[in-house]
Structure 1
Amino acid sequence: MIPRQAYAPTPHSYVPNSALSATINLDEEVRLATTRAERDLQDSLAELFSILVTLDELEKAFLKDAIPEADYTEICERSLKQYNAILADEGVARAFVGIEEFKAEWDLEVPRATERIRVGMPSTALTASAGTAGPSQATGGGGGGGGGNTSGALILEATQDFITFLDALRLGLLAKDQLHPLLTDVIQSVNKVTDRDFENRGKIVQWLIALNQMRATEELSEAQARELELDINAAYQGFKSTLT
């Protein structure tokens, strides 16, 4: 009987190469950062990576109707806010460079997340939900009690948001971080009133995307501001026409 080998036999032709021996302690922890600043930067970049992956999976789930609309909107809005908040740090922004560069560096394939970040809003914010009030309800016609009052309040809110935005332009507020939140309020309040695709509604969405592409403190030119005012005023008139 052949005795059992305690280990696999080594070919006689193999000679260990001492030059390939480890020169470090393999039990020693490898540190990716040596200072707190470097560690914070690595943590921020890791968060951005996580947000991109999460957003992409969220968009897939929403397209498959695998997540409720309200949950999708909440998670998407929170993720976008976190993404922008992290990149507000100049050091992180320099290391990140841009979304395309970041994806290339880490071999990320997240097309849906890329589009959502480009737009800067959940898809539900760009289209009216099925539960919005129709024109007859909004004006109180055919509605009774609290329903009509609620719809009237929504119309007032949308009207005030339009006026607030247009007044901001006339007062010379031209920076992205001043205008984008106000225009976001406009589209969200409009969507609560009507699901009709009224005239020039698309202009609101186009400007939301255009503003989202700007840096936080970047400002519109006078010509752009004038064009924006004309487009949003036209959208306001189109919105009012849905209420008649």
Structure 2
Amino acid sequence: MEVKLWNDKREREMYENFAELYAIIKATEKLEKAYIRDIIPSSEYETECQKLIAHFKTLASTLKDIVPSIERFADTYKMDCPAAINRLVTSGVPATVEPGCCSCLSNYLGCHCGRVHPLLSDLSASLNKLSILPPDFEGKTKMKEWISRLSKMGAADELTEQQARQLHFDLESSYNSFMAALPSAGT
């Protein structure tokens, strides 16, 4: 006697998606453990992790109505994968990228001080190191413009009130774009 696992094409696709989600979570858990144990080089880890995160995001958005909670999915199927859940759901970026994100955040927050040029240079360098940002990312462009502008000024020169307001606006806008570009938790 033949036993059917699904009743129609739609149900079959749902179970195939569940299997794919399960596989991505398990693979991410193994990858995280390999990275922690220094079994895999950082560059290889980052490449593979970014692929898994991208696949996960696509699949999670496809399944959002059927699987509203990845944590609940993992519990239902008895998956003991805390590192994968952290990487895929909470963090959303490879472990090798997290320090870069923190560096960018601290540089954004520190740019409101008097030492503007060196801080903008640090911010620009931090943004350029992040592979999750496109080359034409607004923050990179704005920081290059401001660094160029400030390079033409003397060390003792001060920004006018209008320039300071524009810099503040550009930093705020760039910061908001940066935060929006970061992978969001739960997707």
**TM-score after normalising by structure 2:** 0.58
**How far off is 1:213 after superposition?**
2.2
% identical aligned pairs: 23
2:64 maps to which residue? 93
2:46 maps to which residue? 73
2:8 maps to which residue? 35
**How far off is 1:113 after superposition?**
0.4
2:33 maps to which residue? 60
More helix as a share of residues: 2
Instruction: Give yes or no for the alignment of 1:213 onto 2:185.
Output: yes
**How far off is 1:169 after superposition?**
6.5
Number of residue pairs matched by the alignment: 129
SS at match of 1:158: helix
1:48 maps to which residue? 21
Whole-Å Cα distance in 1 between the matches of residues 81 and 97 of structure 2?
A: 21
Higher relative contact order (CA 8 A, sep 6+): 2
Whole-Å Cα distance in 1 between the matches of residues 96 and 65 of structure 2?
A: 31
Q: Partner amino acid for 2:53?
A: L
1:115 maps to which residue? 86
**Aligned in 2, Cα 1:38/1:69: closer, same or farther, shift over 3 Å?**
same
2:166 maps to which residue? none
Greater Cα radius of gyration, structure 1 or 2: 1
SS at match of 1:94: coil
Whole-Å Cα distance in 2 between the matches of residues 62 and 156 of structure 1?
A: 23
Picking from 151, 158, 161, the partner of 2:128 is 158
SS at match of 2:65: helix
**TM-score after normalising by structure 1:** 0.46
**How far off is 1:94 after superposition?**
2.1
2:98 maps to which residue? 126
**Aligned in 2, Cα 1:156/1:114: closer, same or farther, shift over 3 Å?**
closer
Q: Partner amino acid for 2:97?
A: A
Q: Deviations over 1:82-126 (max 9, x none)?
A: 00001222xx22222211210111011101001111100000112
Q: Partner amino acid for 1:93?
A: K
Whole-Å Cα distance in 2 between the matches of residues 84 and 93 of structure 1?
A: 10
> Could you say what the CA RMSD is over the residues aligned between the two structures, in angstroms?
3.3
Whole-Å Cα distance in 2 between the matches of residues 156 and 123 of structure 1?
A: 16
SS at match of 1:127: helix
Picking from 69, 76, 81, the partner of 1:105 is 76
Flag structure 1 segments of 5+ consecutive residues without an equivalent: 1-24, 129-153, 181-207, 216-244
**How far off is 1:170 after superposition?**
3.7
- Does structure 1 retain, via aligned residues, the 8 Å contact 2:127–2:140? no
Query: What are the residue-to-residue correspondences of 1:146-225 with 2, within 5 Å?
Result: 155=125, 158=128, 161=137, 162-164=139-141, 170=173, 179-180=180-181, 208=182, 212-213=184-185
Q: Deviations over 1:22-75 (max 9, x none)?
A: xxx3xx2x2211211111111111111001111011000001110111111111
